[in-house]
Amino acid sequence: MQFRDLGAQYKVLKDEIDTAIQDVINSSSFILGKPISELENKLAEYVGRNYCITCANGTEALQLSLMAMDIGPGDAVFTSDFTYFASAGCVSILGATPILVDINLETFNISPEALEDAIKRIISEGKQTPKAIIPVDLFGLPANYDKIIPIANKYGLKVLEDAAQGFGGNINGRMSCSFGNVSATSFFPAKPLGCYGDGGAIFTDNNEINLRLRSLRASGKSPVDKYDNREIGLNSRLDTLQAAILLPKFKAFVEWELDAINNVARWYDEKLKAKYVTPTIPKGYYSSWAQYTILLDNKEQRDAMQQKLKASGIPSMIYYPRGIHQQQAYKEMGLKDDFFSNTIEATQRALSLPMHPYLKEDDVNKIVKIILR
């Protein structure tokens, strides 16, 4: 059994994907070829944004977004402590300071209460200027934007949605990648919508930011002259090949994969919820299930469960084994565990189970039987 079975998806889409790849090779249009603009138009329409700007990966989607917001030294950017490293790393690489915030243990997403406390603390300390919030749509579930956006407005902060795991989710029909000023996603193979390598995209409704991002992803070039560089940018374009692969994958994602993966989540829920803490999806929220993560009672029980599954050939993952505040790279900040009690709980008790749209109910039964034994 596989944790995320990309081969099963390829079997279903093989003809379309093989043709798409061959068409790009035949066209020799490897950089910013036609599939790029086709994909950008389709994704922008799907999430309900005016503009989509594809780029090389999710990490640079975040970095480029912050560059377009003019984030730099002296600025404070608030993000979740329980996430993949890039949510905070994108801030540091621009010389700004990531301010890490504890999560809500039910949703694994940033706690709006802890967020507001952190903003007040940074304002009163007066060392950095609060500029932006990066809420993360962890495990496929959109963050609590109903509470986060008013907080951002109250303190005059921009919002950059880290939807690397969130593509396809929604809140009352409003799609992930449409919240806040700018949204960033990733097409890393194991993400809800993945390509066959690295890839990413940025979404916005603001044309100034759209044009700036198109320049920044191509070394700050002017719109008309590639060798007229107007600011410092990155070389961060999505390959035409990856866009061509994403087009049939996106169609499958919309037509059946999102429904299928939500069925898998229901099977797990029904069979596990009597004995374990299964994921909480708040009313009106819809997850694209980048991960299906349960909470065990404590670290000993969680680690033993992972070993038990492994002995039966079932892979599971620990997302995440440490909070961002515990990363070696941030040792200098000297952050204490006391501020991040829910992150600590999650790092010790969370276990992510095999999850993908092609998982059969028989497989879920097999996994659940071992967990409940």
Looking at residue 213, what DSSP letter applies?
H
Residues 39-78, one symbol each (x = binds ligand PLP by CB under 6 A, - = not), give: ------------------xxx-------------------
Rounded least distance, CB 224 to ligand PLP, Å: 30
Which of 54, 186, 288, 342 binds ligand PLP (CB under 6 A)? It is 186
CB of 267 or CB of 330, closer to ligand PLP: 330
Interactions with ligand PLP, residue window 106-145 (CB under 6 A):
136
Q: At what angle do helices 207-216 and 58-68 cross, to 10 degrees?
A: 120
Which of 112, 130, 135, 200 binds ligand PLP (CB under 6 A)? It is 200
CB-count burial class (<10 Å; 0-12, 13-18, 19+) for 224: exposed
Site stretch for ligand PLP (CB under 6 A), options 34-42, 139-147, 158-166, 230-238? 158-166
165 scored as a contact of ligand PLP (CB under 6 A) = yes
Question: Minimal CA–CA distance to 70: which of 146, 160, 8?
Answer: 160
CB-count burial class (<10 Å; 0-12, 13-18, 19+) for 155: middle
CA distance 308 to 348: 17
Rounded least distance, CB 27 to ligand PLP, Å: 25
Question: Minimal CA–CA distance to 290: which of 364, 354, 200?
Answer: 354
CB of 165 or CB of 287, closer to ligand PLP: 165
CB of 134 or CB of 335, closer to ligand PLP: 134
CB of 59 or CB of 215, closer to ligand PLP: 59
Q: How many residues does the chain have?
A: 373
Which of 78, 82, 167, 188 binds ligand PLP (CB under 6 A)? It is 188
Reported as half-sphere exposure (CB side, CA atoms, 13 A), residue 362 has a value of 1
180 scored as a contact of ligand PLP (CB under 6 A) = no
CB of 197 or CB of 282, closer to ligand PLP: 197
84 scored as a contact of ligand PLP (CB under 6 A) = yes
CA distance 102 to 324: 10
Question: Minimal CA–CA distance to 191: which of 2, 65, 4, 1?
Answer: 4
Site stretch for ligand PLP (CB under 6 A), options 5-13, 81-89, 98-106, 212-220? 81-89
User: Could you give the angle at the alpha carbon of 137 between the alpha carbons of 193 and 208, nearest 5°?
Assistant: 80
86 scored as a contact of ligand PLP (CB under 6 A) = yes
83 scored as a contact of ligand PLP (CB under 6 A) = yes
Rounded least distance, CB 165 to ligand PLP, Å: 5
CA distance 234 to 109: 30
CA distance 258 to 155: 36
**Positions in the binding site for ligand PLP (CB under 6 A):** 57-59, 83-84, 86-87, 136, 162, 164-165, 186, 188, 198, 200
